[in-house]
Amino acid sequence: MEENFEKTLVLIKPDGVQRKLIGEIIDRFQNRGLQLVAAKMLLVSRELAETHYKEHKGKSFYNGLVEYITSAPTMAMVWAGEHAIEAVRQTVGKTNPLEAAPGTIRHDYALLTSRNLIHASDSHETAEREIALWFKPEEICEWSDQHHKWIFGKN
């Protein structure tokens, strides 16, 4: 396995699904060279939403956040690659779409923090915890990506 090979959780939240942006978002990650290793669409339970967002409990936006994520289907995915956690967050852009750099998904497709389309794990510890929360080990498909030597090749 390549050095620094990581997996990270990405959620296309209900606004992204409803706005038919699933294909565009997947394209962005695939075009960058990242590898999709797990995916499922689900209507998130209140329990899963509360566990996933437990660090935000008590904040002013918490109740609305749980309502939003449970209101319609979410597309959950695991993306893999060298430095995948940082690469995904860079492609997604800052939490507030108005602060996200042009060319990032949140900049190009969103305007408000409360409807920012995507969630992506922010550290190794978070990625490990979140992948285990959203996926059973057998739902993660480790496949050999023949493009890796062209994307992660070292000289």
Catalytic residues: 119
**Size of interface with ligand CMP, in residues (CB under 6 A):** 8
Shortest Cβ contact with ligand CMP: which residue? 119
Which residues share a beta bridge with 41? 75
By CB under 6 A, is residue 71 in contact with ligand CMP?
no
Closer residue to ligand CMP, CB minimum distance, 54 or 56: 56
Q: Give the burial string for 19-54 (b: 16+ CB within 10 Å, else e).
A: eebeeebbebbeeebbbbbbbeeeebeeebbbebbe
CA-based nearest residue to 83, from 2, 6, 152, 147: 6
Q: Shortest Cβ distance from residue 115 to ligand CMP (Å)?
A: 7
Sole binder of ligand CMP in the list 41, 45, 46, 61 (CB under 6 A): 61
Per CB under 6 A, the segment of 24-32, 108-116, 125-133, 143-151 that binds ligand CMP is 108-116
